[in-house]
Amino acid sequence: MKALTWHGRRDVRVDTVPDPVLRDPTDVLVEVTTTGLCGSDLHLYEVLGAFLDEGDILGHEAMGVVREVGSAVHAVGVGDRVVVPFNVSCGTCRMCVNGLQSQCETTQVRAYGTGAALFGYTKLYGQVPGGQAELLRVPFGNTLPVVVPHGPPDERYVLLSDVLPTAWQAVEYAAVPPGGSVAVLGLGPIGDMCTRIARHRGAATVIGVDLVPERLERARANGVDTLDLARLGSRVVDAARDLTDGRGPHAVIDAVGMEAHGSPAATAAQRMTSLLPDALAARLMTRVGLDRLHALHLAVDMVRRGGTISLSGVYGGMTDPLPMLTMFDKQLCLRMGQANVLRWMDDLLPLLGDGDPLGVDGFATHHLPLAEAPAAYEMFQRKQDGVVKVLLKP
Q: pLDDT value at position 50?
A: 78
Q: Are 270 and 290 in contact (CB under 8 A)?
A: yes
Residues 143 and 87 in one domain: yes
What are the backbone angles phi and psi of residue 20, rounded to the nearest 5°?
-70, 155
Of 319, 336, 353, the last residue of a domain is 336
Q: What is the pLDDT of residues 282-335, one digit of tens each?
A: 554 554 444 467 888 999 999 999 999 999 977 766 556 788 899 999 999 999
**Between residues 289 and 215, which one has the greater pLDDT?**
215
What tens digit of pLDDT does each residue of 73-99 get? 999 999 999 999 999 999 999 999 999
Its domain, for residue 227, covers 164-336
Same domain, 324 and 350: no
Q: Are 200 and 66 within one domain?
A: no
Look at residue 230 in the predicted model and tell me its pLDDT.
Answer: 94
Q: What is the CATH number of the domain that holds 65?
A: 3.90.180.10
**Same domain, residue pair 95 and 239:** no
If one counts the domains in the chain, the total is 2
Same domain flag for 224 and 312: yes
Average of per-residue pLDDT values in the chain: 91
Mark whether 190 and 246 lie in a shared domain. yes
pLDDT at 290: 47
CA distances 257 to 178, 218, 329, Å, are 27, 21, 23
Tens of pLDDT along 147-172?
999 999 999 999 999 999 999 999 99
Give the pLDDT band (50/70/90) at residue 45: confident
pLDDT at position 128 over 80 = yes
Residue 72: what pLDDT?
98
Q: Domain holding 178: CATH number? A: 3.40.50.720
